Amino acid sequence: MRPSDAARQLQYAVASQADTYDYEISYWEAHVYEDVFADVSEHGTLSDVMSVVEALGDQFVEGTRPSPADAREIADGVLTAGGRPLTDGGDGS
């Protein structure tokens, strides 16, 4: 799934859960997470991407707006839960 498609999924998920289109879930706000979606797509599966979309959507509906750092933390949790490494195995230098 392309990161832009995942961002659009987030917009749809939030709008459907809230039963209204929340203007604050704008194009910009959803696309803030594209780097996160790109990483999850690269290192995980479509299911992992959708798990991140769902987790972010739940936070939007609960009235909070996850920061990009929060989104990264959610994504890292999804990826490690699947037993996949968070890095490419480099030496870190």
What pLDDT, in 10s, does the model give residues 28-81? Answer: 666 788 889 899 999 999 999 999 988 888 887 666 778 888 989 999 999 987
- pTM for the model stands at 0.70
**What does the pLDDT read at residue 26?**
63
Which position has the higher pLDDT, 26 or 54?
54
**What does the pLDDT read at residue 7?**
79
**What does the pLDDT read at residue 58?**
85
Answer for the pair 30, 10: CB distance below 8 angstroms, yes or no. Answer: yes
Query: CA 79: distance to chain centroid?
Result: 12
Residues in the chain: 93
- Apex CA 41: angle with CA 63 and CA 76, to 5°? 55
Answer for the pair 74, 55: CB distance below 8 angstroms, yes or no. Answer: yes
